Amino acid sequence: MEDAPRDRGAGLTSFRRYTWWAVPGTVVCVMVLSYGSWALDGDVPAWARVPTVPALAVHAVASAVLLGGWLKAPATIESPSLRAPLGWLLVAGAAAVVLAALPLARHNYGLWVVASAVTVAIGASYLPARSRWVLVVAATVLALVPGGAVSLAADDGEFAYAVVFPAGIVAFTAWTVLGPLWAWRIAGQLDRARQLEAELAVKDERLRFASDLHDIQGHHLQVIALKAELASRLTETDPVRAAAEMQEVRQLCSDALRDTRAVVQGIRRTTLDDEIANATRVLAAAGIDARMDLEPAAVAAELTESVRSLLGLVMREATTNVLRHSHARSAEVDYRVTGGRARLRISNDGADLPPGAADGTGLRGLAERLRAAGGELTWERGEGDRFVVTAALPAQGATR
């Protein structure tokens, strides 16, 4: 049997090979050993032995094809959606009738039901779960009749054996065939779940990288645009200051390149202290009166690195939004630690957009990251044209 291309590298190739030998291989071997020994028995007349050989060969091939087709189907698809090859089922059923009638005519109550039990189990594997077990139970009950009828007619004293043993064979065969097939289906679903988990992890990492890149490039580009515009206005009136502004633009470009490389390498960390100092300079350069109300105890508090990094990202995003989405004349930053929670509040008086218009991916992405760390991030338009962003986090790190 060839391994399907979809399973290469998925960890199911060995299990598929094992299931193949455990189910179709075992079924064919049991059939050949059971009916082969009977066909080679010299006490059995030729009229019963001769037809058994071709019927056995046909049934073995049909069983192998049906089970092989079932195993080649995608392991994540439930049995109800599998289409049974009707032609092969009819061939297996016809061969099973021959292999049942000949031993039963010789009063062999243990052999006649083997091929029929295998056919029932294979057919049941292609049915939905409820219909599958209905078929198995019905076949088990029906297996009580033929042997019992023949035994009563022959009055051979083996009525109990002729009734109970075939029914047990049907139930046992269904259990041994459907059990490994069910295990194969579950293994396929688990492997698919593992693949989905890996894909989600990759997507999460991509979103994290995109969020970090947005924080870096959005902020740097906004400040560079502001500085470049200011330098262009000062070119004629104050060339010295214009040159100084362009020097800062050059430095900002270098910083942006360095931060981008750090993000790619996964080593960049934004800190609250650096971002507050940076916001003061940037807002002042934009002509915005920035007022910092920093509680001394909060500044000196020993926050975890992750908390400082997240609050730094909030500070950077809020500063970028002030530059990009407002005509603010003043901004206020309030930072304090109360009740074991670090609280950062940034507000400005220039929100010229309707509520929700500036709710971009930056704030939304940060809100998800703060929620994952046990905190919260909110933003709202207050009285007049004020816009307020508030972040709160456990001072000692994430709660989950």
Please give the structure tokens belonging to residue 312: 């730094």
- Report the C-alpha gap between 376 and 371 in whole angstroms: 5
DSSP H helices in the chain? 13-20, 26-39, 46-72, 86-105, 113-125, 129-142, 144-154, 159-237, 239-265, 272-285, 296-300, 305-325, 361-372
Fill in the amino acid letter for 382.
G
Which of 377, 284, 285, 387 lies closest to 326 in space, CA to CA?
Answer: 387
Q: State both tokens at 390.
A: 């508030």
Give the model's pLDDT for residue 205. 62
Indicate whether 34 and 147 sit together in one domain: yes
Residues 149 and 143: their CA atoms lie apart, in Å, by 11
Q: What is the maximum span of the chain, computed from C-alpha positions, in angstroms?
A: 124
Q: Which domain holds residue 91?
A: 5-198
Task: For residue 249, tell me if it sits in a domain.
Answer: no
Q: Which of 157, 182, 198 is the last residue of a domain?
A: 198
**Do residues 190 and 41 share a domain?**
yes
pLDDT at residue number 233: 82
Give the model's pLDDT for residue 80. Answer: 44
Give the residues of the chain that fall short of pLDDT 70.
1-12, 74-82, 84, 198, 201-202, 205, 208-209, 212, 215-216, 262-270, 352-361, 397-400
pLDDT at 10: 45
Q: Looking at the structure, do residues 176 and 300 belong to the same domain, yes or no?
A: no
Check whether residue 164 and residue 65 sit in a common domain.
Answer: yes
Positive or negative: CA dihedral 41, 44, 47, 48: negative
Q: What is the pLDDT of residue 262?
A: 67
**Cα-only R_g, the chain:** 38
Question: Which residue among 143, 174, 198 closes a domain?
Answer: 198
215: in domain: no
